[in-house]
Homo-oligomer: A and B are copies of this chain.
Amino acid sequence: MSISTSLPRVGAEARAALFTDARTTYAFADTPVDDATLTGIWELARWAPTAANLQPLRVLYVRTPEGKERLLPHLDEGNRPKSASAPVVAVLAVDNRFHEHIPRILPIRPQMKEYFEGDSAQRDSITSFNGPLQAGYFILAVRAFGLAAGPMGGFDAAGIDKEFFPDNDWHAVLVVNIGHPAGAPEFDRLPRLEHEHVIDWV
């Protein structure tokens, strides 16, 4: 019989705040969110696992009127009022040159830096899976700080990349409005799939 390490469970309040009660938010109050909180969201999300610890996700926080003015034209028209109302809009991006950090983040296999440098298809494989994986962690980390998240896929990614990332190799994958909700949600929650449709057993 092997020795089992006991891990703490997360209680009902935290589960509700992160999963069962939390709602995607479309209209935000003008209550500000400070930069230290925004840094803290990343510093929480970053501890969840990625393939070979490669951590390809990057975050552009847009929270000035000038920044909003540059961002809004690249969002689908129906999404602009949502982002206009949010005190902060996070553009989540993947860094196609994530491998440059390998000597520090994967010190047990520093030679992987050269491997990825020479194989852009392998880099794409890492970013296309681990970017969205980290986006999931990020959305829950936003909620952990008592803030509402409004993730949106409707935007011109190439337009955002050109506007904000001309000097590096970041590529926008998700836009997340962040702030405090203005009032209650406007409609009931959409249904989730029952486990019979999702889980199989062997």
Q: What is A's interface to B at a CB cutoff of 8 Å? A: 1-11, 13-20, 22, 24, 27-31, 35, 38-39, 42-49, 51, 53, 55, 57-64, 66-67, 70-71, 101, 104-108, 128-137, 139-141, 143-149, 151, 153, 164, 173-174, 180-184, 190-193, 195, 197-202
Contacts and interface: CB of A to CB of B under 8 A. Distances in A.
A174 to B, nearest CB: 8
B173 A141 contact: no
B19 A202 contact: no
A27 to B, nearest CB: 8
A30 B44 CA distance: 31
A97 to B, nearest CB: 11
Nearest to A20: B47
A146 B29 contact: no
B2 A19 contact: no
The prevalent SS among residues of A at the interface is mixed
Contacts of A132: 128-133, 136
Contacts of A201: 35, 60-61, 63
Contact of A198 (B59, B66, B151): B59
Given A199-B38, A202-B66, A144 B29 contact: no
Nearest to A39: B195
B9 A144 contact: yes
A57 B198 contact: yes
B200 A59 contact: yes
A151 to B, nearest CB: 6
A51 to B, nearest CB: 5
Contacts of A145: 9-10
Given A61-B200, A198-B58, A3 B182 contact: yes
